[in-house]
Amino acid sequence: MRREVAVQDLRALLEYLTASNAQYALAGGLAVGLWAEHLLTDDQKERLKIPVYSEDVDFRGYRFLADGIKAWMSANGIEMGQISVAVRKGAESMGRIFNMPFRPLGDSPAITAAATVEILERLPLLDPGIEIPPNGSVLLLAGVQVLDPFSLMVCKLHAFHTRPKNEQGSDLEHLKILSALLPAAEKLSRSRGVSLKADAERLCAVLATGDFPLPFAGCEEKWINQAIEAAMRAAN
């Protein structure tokens, strides 16, 4: 049994959450993968090894999202563990984290791989405390409510710079994927009348501190700057 999933493995769950008006945003590596599958060319997908697989299914949401996902999983042939609740030590103001491991049962469940759902009330570096509304734009992409790629890059920069060096590999890959798709994502959002200016400004501010620098230069950095500048111009 696979111990990781791609967005396509979760299509039925994600469509259910959207159709039921659940308050959620797909985040983490699978959100990066969703943007990539929707926006990158075939050549880019091959070079960047799309689809993205992950052992964790990350959402921003609250306890009732955890309860709703567990109920759907149970009704669709998926065994879920108990919902565990944690708070980051030293970061209690960021709210709670809900974790639920899952694995398929039987021959033809709705999801055919095992992984862990992780629901965060607030995302590190991106969001203020739990008493303040969260940051970042949430867009509907291919029927899924997903965090905008500027905000995903902020989250991935935090993850990359706070993990041990031997665990940074997937975050580096995700940052490279985001850099490649940011210009197209900004253009798509603008075509829908959605401004990502505030999200681009937030990423720009994070980079300007020097505490969370890009782990690469060259074309990737150029693409990021182009997307930030386009978002700024479009809002004027």
Flag whether 96 is in a domain. yes
* pLDDT given at position 224: 97
Q: Is 111 part of a structural domain of the chain?
A: yes
What burial letters (b/e) apply to 140-163, b meaning 16+ CB within 10 Å? ebeebbbbbbbbbbbbbbbbbeee
Residue 2 belongs to a domain = no
Show the DSSP H helices in 40-196 as ranges.
Answer: 42-47, 63-75, 149-162, 169-191
**Tell me, what's the pLDDT at 157?**
98
CA distance 169 to 37: 20
Predicted confidence at residue 89, as pLDDT, reads: 86
Q: Is residue 1 part of a domain?
A: no
> Which structural domain, as residue segments, surrounds residue 218?
7-234
pLDDT of residue 23: 96
Q: Phi then psi for 216, rounded to 5 degrees?
A: -155, 170
Q: Pseudo-torsion of CA 228, 234, 50, 54, nearest 10°?
A: 70
Q: Is residue 180 part of a domain?
A: yes
Query: Residue 153's Cα: distance from chain center in Å?
Result: 9
Q: What is the pLDDT of residue 1?
A: 56
Task: Judge whether 121 and 24 are in contact, CB under 8 Å.
Answer: no
Taking a C-beta distance cutoff of 8 angstroms, is the pair 148, 136 a contact? yes
Q: Is residue 46 one of the residues assigned to a domain?
A: yes
Domain total in the chain: 1
Per-residue pLDDT of the chain (236 residues; tens, 9 = 90+): 567 899 999 999 999 999 999 999 999 999 999 999 999 999 999 999 999 999 999 999 999 999 999 999 999 989 998 999 999 888 899 999 999 999 988 776 788 888 999 999 999 999 999 999 999 999 999 999 999 999 999 999 999 999 999 999 999 999 999 999 999 999 999 999 999 999 999 999 999 999 999 999 999 999 999 999 999 998 66
Structural domain contains residue 181: yes
Residue 201 lies in a domain: yes
The pLDDT of residue 236 is 65
